[in-house]
Amino acid sequence: MKTTLIGDNENKGGFLGLGSTTVAVPWTAFQISKDGDKTKYVLDATKERLEKAPKVEGKNYERLYARETAEPIFIYWEETWLVEP
């Protein structure tokens, strides 16, 4: 499973006014494009949707790879859950 985390690692006010909350978002939920030599990542989500997104506690991110943890994240973001063979 490939998932990214959106949050404020510096705890300096947060991201989009969400404080220091960290949420999990599958990479497939992003629109990824190039702008010159920079890569742009765009997530089509409202502040309310981010506030209700599955939260990530602590820094033990390996637990996000387990199906019972990852699948609900994909369902929330309406992304297809793909299990590698």
Does residue 75 register a pLDDT over 60? yes
Contact 71, 83 (CB under 8 A): no
Long-range contacts of 11-14 (CB under 8 A, 24+ apart): none
CA 18 to chain centre: 14
**Containing domain of residue 28, as a range?**
3-76
Q: What confidence category does residue 1 fall into, taking pLDDT thresholds of 50, 70 and 90?
A: very low
- pLDDT tens readout for residues 15-74: 555 567 788 888 889 999 999 999 988 889 988 998 899 988 877 788 888 888 889 999
Q: Quote the pLDDT of residue 11.
A: 41
Residue 44 counted as domain residue = yes
Q: Is residue 84 part of a domain?
A: no
Under 8 Å between Cβ of 45 and 16: no
pLDDT tier at 2 (50, 70, 90 boundaries)?
Answer: very low
CA dihedral 62, 65, 71, 72 (to 10 degrees): 0
Count of structural domains within the chain: 1
Bridge partner residues of 19 (DSSP)? 14
DSSP code, position 63: G
Give a yes or no: residue 81 inside a domain: no
